[in-house]
Amino acid sequence: MKNKIIGTTTMKKYLTSLFLFMLILGKLHGQTDFTKPEDTLTILEHPSSFSDLIKQFKGKVIYIDIMASWCKPCIQELKISKGLDKFFAKENIVKLYISIDNFGQTDKAIEILKTENIKGYFVTYQAPDGKPNQFATDLENLLLFDNKKQFRGIPIYAIVDKQGTLITNDAKRPSSGEELKKQLQKTNN
């Protein structure tokens, strides 16, 4: 039996057809890329503002988890959060993790999320150049500090509705289980 060698032109046609088939299949299932964000940890580019970050998830409820690699309660809640993955997928709710690790230290937060097999989206509070920016200012004003400009402590949880409005900056923790589910379902309906 002879091995058949496929020519370059034939191979290109085959690969193009395969790509188009996968693209069409993805569109039929409402998916344009071939990784499901709910099955992975997606690291986002640093946004210019909080509203620019939220716009990426238009039409979806967003559960925000503000954490840091050095925060033991944050890591404990991350472990509990994994048990809610099916609920988040079923309800089509986005999990968004925001690290407040110091500049140059965010790799530690990413490593913890990957080690714990956390699914969702990740962005860092710190700009890539380490300079103050609008996104950091927005987070400070909306989530990190209270009315007296005192740091609230972490972890902090927040919920953004489908219209992109911050509903609460004091959402239930993953460890609250059913209370969190009810809070999210109320926002999702």
pLDDT in tens, 64-87: 999 999 999 999 999 999 999 999
ω before 174 within 30° of 0 (cis)?
Answer: no
Three-class SS state of 113: helix
CA–CA distances in Å: residue 90 to residues 93, 94, 126:
8, 11, 32
Give the separation between CA 42 and CA 9, rounded to whole angstroms.
Answer: 35
pLDDT in tens, 11-68: 566 556 555 555 555 544 444 444 444 568 999 999 999 999 999 999 999 999 999 9
pLDDT in tens, 117-176: 999 999 998 888 878 889 999 999 999 998 899 999 999 999 999 999 999 999 999 999
